[in-house]
Chains A and B, each alone.
Chain A
């Protein structure tokens, strides 16, 4: 402790080690500031900046520790809700039949409506269940047992009616939400067009004001609309002409369109690889009259609404994937323990054990992350957890695909046949990295949002460095030298005010080191690329991957600390899982952070670009065949 103090004092004197100083001071200062804020500004909404502050190398431990809990009454409520849903899914849902016929039977839909699964997040005054995000995530764990049903429900409530829920007027809510919550009407979300997936500028669907000024006429077509064939109420995004500062511009607006307005035709349902029970089709609008009262938000404000809707539904993918993997573990381990080869059961072979360990770790991390995010979102104020939700989505979708593939592998040929549900799970899982924002696009979002935040804060410092301030350059060199000698960093997770349980000290240290290293790397990247980092997708991908790993480590540490402190069942096993996960994540982070440095052999960005350029120039594989001869 004394040494640290002396070092801090010396560094202050020589204007070096700013980082080390800043870390501790800022952290302590923030704590003081927060306490002050709580006293003075009660109505000030909390700015959730956990993931964004990781970009600066700061760990806001108050946001994520302790792990969010639900009260006892709420837990009882959850259990009450969960039991009948589980029973329904295990007894009355025939997933194989849904997959075979590419349709969800009417009785199943009726059963779902009776259970209230169509209005989980709709407030009770409109007829829904009014559940919080955490409870919604808990129920998503069960509905994911059948992929088609899960997607139908998600398309209905997570995106279909979310627009009305978050941005609708009282009249619109009164008019539409009750029927939507009971399931009498089904909702759909119509944004994607043939020429426009992520690019809002290429949306062609137009909404023109009629002469009497009471209706908008919508013309255009949308593709890949889930529930498109059976939806009665759709949230359609179309271009409208708006006058902004005297200039006429085309901006997107959101409309609530009922099928009863007429002019809406649905194409035939798409024949998909997985989630075959979910109805996905093309929807065409031909002069559909939409009353002016049905505009969601204001005319021209559709873009923000679209972004909010898309960003808010993602976190439930973590818990639904976790639920599916837990079920898979049960089924697969049953098989692995009973099947015998060479007089040993499969479970005694190391490679199989590795697969199961991987599945257990994935499920553990996924559900920790999902419930942490849901808990953060449920805290009072209006926290912006879009970054964390995107991270949960990317992590869960990719891990789910790998785990299902491995589970099928354990069963070998049997898993490949239609007699077992594994191939259906595999096919259903393949859509996870694609919909709700493809993983590539979400990685860009994760990395760029953080970079924007870090850029704003570090701007002055980087400008100083670029001007050639010698003192700053010297301090940078000293800091880099120090970073190589210090092998541990203290961000307050362990020790006197530590929030992580001492059993997890090693893993917490790894997290702290990773976070600090990440902060430095982000600063270097900003210094090197500045604005043009938007074009460096390979580097941004690595940044996003590191951040996802950091968030996963945090979630896992937080949950395990709580488990140990409470004495939950099998908390010692959780310690084991946490430590293993953190080891792996730390190692991967190190590699990726090294890859982000400029002149290391691990950084193969230039090579990748060259190879891709050669392939695109010829639009084929360009090497000669290995059997070719020249003479």
Chain B
């Protein structure tokens, strides 16, 4: 069915069920009922229903009527149907972050959706820094300009504004994000966690109405401590994310310069690009694959230092390395 693209079509399943002759497989007396009447046919029916369940197709009344007519009221397929009708509604909305069945065609829209999904923040704003288009230069060559879509929320902007200009920020990626059958890659702008937590000094003249801090010596009781140690691990702030069509230096530079419009601090902070080569086609030779399969990733990283004052610099030495991983 997937070949024809009808695996999620209920009408097709019903038509398939219609192929069975009616009332032939229905057991007529107690002995027939005891001995699994027409077992292979019942298995076939059950397998059809299983495929429906796998693709998340809810059977309807027509299915039930067909099943009853074909197999009778107490056969395995009808039991399977009853179980499906009990469990499938309960699991239908169990995913709090569902991916729609039909992803949009436009890569910019896919990027928008993917970034919003990762950020999971209603304040975050998605900006399209560049739309994809194909240009034809004077020499007749086709140049494709990839799309660049970035996301940043106001709290991230504040964090970036407070970032210490002596510490560098890193552009890391590409990280894969799977949306059903498609894999998109995103890049992250982040920094290392600050060494000492700077606590704002208590200003007793801050609140006009009530004291913001009590002058009492003891803290919270053990039984009421609600901090878990797991959350104490600080991975460092993430300032923005982006998805592009092509993950090379030029495109990422474009993203950073686009970000700089709203975050002037980026102009003063050194930005390091820790970018992998990105996904590539599987190479033809399988032995080369098995040979290089376990090479560590660090060898493939390329780093580059940027000028402190100006626009992000230029050339990267990338070592195109063997990639394992599914092609997109």
B208 touches A307 (CB 8 A): yes
A43 at the interface (CB under 8 A from B): no
A452 touches B89 (CB 8 A): no
Chain B minimum-CB-distance residue to A200: B208
B143 at the interface (CB under 8 A from A): no
User: CA of A619 to CA of B124 in the docked complex: distance in angstroms?
Assistant: 14
User: CA of A581 to CA of B215 in the docked complex: distance in angstroms?
Assistant: 36
User: Per-residue 0/1 for B203-244: is the Cβ within 8 Å of any A Cβ (1 yes, 0 no)?
Assistant: 101111111111111111101100000000000000000000
8 Å CB interface, A253-309 against B? 303, 306-307
A199 with B206: in contact, given A452-B211, A631-B85 (CB under 8 Å)?
yes
B207 touches A198 (CB 8 A): yes
B58 at the interface (CB under 8 A from A): yes
Which residues of the other chain, A, contact B219 by a CB distance below 8 angstroms?
A: 530-532
B31 at the interface (CB under 8 A from A): no
Which residues of the other chain, A, contact B58 by a CB distance below 8 angstroms?
A: 631
User: Per-residue 0/1 for A183-203: is the Cβ within 8 Å of any B Cβ (1 yes, 0 no)?
Assistant: 000000001000000111100
Chain B minimum-CB-distance residue to A454: B216
A445 touches B210 (CB 8 A): yes
8 Å CB interface, A603-618 against B? 618
A455 touches B89 (CB 8 A): no
User: CA of A534 to CA of B205 in the docked complex: distance in angstroms?
Assistant: 16
Smallest CB separation, A439 vs chain B (Å): 11
A441 at the interface (CB under 8 A from B): yes
B12 at the interface (CB under 8 A from A): no
B92 at the interface (CB under 8 A from A): yes
8 Å CB interface, B162-198 against A? none
Q: Please tell me which stretch of A109-117, A155-163, A346-354, A456-464 contacts chain B, meaning at least 4 of its Cβ atoms lie within 8 angstroms of it.
A: A456-464
Task: Please pick, from B206, B209, B215, B221, the residue contacting A527 in the complex, using a CB distance under 8 A.
Answer: B221
Main secondary structure of the interface of B (DSSP, over half): loop
B122 at the interface (CB under 8 A from A): yes
Smallest CB separation, B289 vs chain A (Å): 44
Which residues of the other chain, B, contact A303 by a CB distance below 8 angstroms?
A: 205, 208
Smallest CB separation, A131 vs chain B (Å): 27
8 Å CB interface, A431-463 against B? 437, 441-442, 444-445, 448-449, 451-452, 455-456, 459, 462-463
Task: Please pick, from B89, B216, B223, the residue contacting A456 in the complex, using a CB distance under 8 A.
Answer: B216
B205 touches A531 (CB 8 A): no
B223 touches A528 (CB 8 A): yes
Which residues of the other chain, B, contact A51 by a CB distance below 8 angstroms?
A: none
B83 at the interface (CB under 8 A from A): no
Interface centre among B122, B213, B218 (most CB of A within 10 A): B218
B210 touches A533 (CB 8 A): no
A310 at the interface (CB under 8 A from B): yes
Which residues of the other chain, A, contact B60 by a CB distance below 8 angstroms?
A: 631
B282 at the interface (CB under 8 A from A): no
Which residues of the other chain, A, contact B206 by a CB distance below 8 angstroms?
A: 199-201
Which residues of the other chain, B, contact A452 by a CB distance below 8 angstroms?
A: 211, 214-216
A531 touches B216 (CB 8 A): yes
A198 with B211: in contact, given A529-B224, A530-B220, A531-B219 (CB under 8 Å)?
no
Which residues of the other chain, B, contact A624 by a CB distance below 8 angstroms?
A: 93
Which residues of the other chain, A, contact B215 by a CB distance below 8 angstroms?
A: 452, 455-456
User: CA of A531 to CA of B212 in the docked complex: distance in angstroms?
Assistant: 10
A631 with B89: in contact, given A201-B206, A307-B208 (CB under 8 Å)?
yes
A466 at the interface (CB under 8 A from B): yes
Smallest CB separation, B209 vs chain A (Å): 4
B210 touches A462 (CB 8 A): no
B212 touches A534 (CB 8 A): yes
Chain A minimum-CB-distance residue to B224: A528
A252 at the interface (CB under 8 A from B): yes
User: CA of A78 to CA of B89 in the docked complex: distance in angstroms?
Assistant: 75
A517 at the interface (CB under 8 A from B): no
Which residues of the other chain, B, contact A191 by a CB distance below 8 angstroms?
A: 208
8 Å CB interface, B242-263 against A? none
A630 at the interface (CB under 8 A from B): yes
A199 touches B214 (CB 8 A): no
Which residues of the other chain, B, contact A441 by a CB distance below 8 angstroms?
A: 209-210
B103 at the interface (CB under 8 A from A): no
A463 touches B223 (CB 8 A): no
Smallest CB separation, B317 vs chain A (Å): 44
User: CA of A446 to CA of B218 in the docked complex: distance in angstroms?
Assistant: 21
Which residues of the other chain, B, contact A466 by a CB distance below 8 angstroms?
A: 218, 221
A526 at the interface (CB under 8 A from B): yes
Smallest CB separation, A205 vs chain B (Å): 14
User: CA of A534 to CA of B219 in the docked complex: distance in angstroms?
Assistant: 11
Smallest CB separation, A369 vs chain B (Å): 20
A222 at the interface (CB under 8 A from B): no
Chain A minimum-CB-distance residue to B218: A530
User: Per-residue 0/1 for A515-552: is the Cβ within 8 Å of any B Cβ (1 yes, 0 no)?
Assistant: 00000000000111111111000000000000000000
B217 touches A526 (CB 8 A): no
Which residues of the other chain, B, contact A448 by a CB distance below 8 angstroms?
A: 210-211, 214
B145 at the interface (CB under 8 A from A): no
7 A–B contacts, CB within 8 A, in A order: A199-B207, A201-B206, A448-B214, A531-B214, A531-B216, A534-B213, A624-B93
B residues neighboring A (CB under 8 Å): 58, 60, 85, 88-89, 92-93, 122, 203, 205-221, 223-224
A residues neighboring B (CB under 8 Å): 191, 198-201, 251-252, 303, 306-307, 310, 437, 441-442, 444-445, 448-449, 451-452, 455-456, 459, 462-463, 466, 526-534, 598, 618-619, 624, 630-631
Sorted nearest first, the 8 A-B pairs with minimum C-beta distance are A455-B216, A630-B89, A445-B210, A303-B205, A444-B210, A530-B218, A441-B209, A530-B219
Known: A200-B206, A466-B218. 11 other contacts (CB 8 A): A199-B207, A200-B205, A200-B207, A303-B208, A459-B217, A459-B218, A530-B219, A530-B221, A630-B89, A631-B60, A631-B85
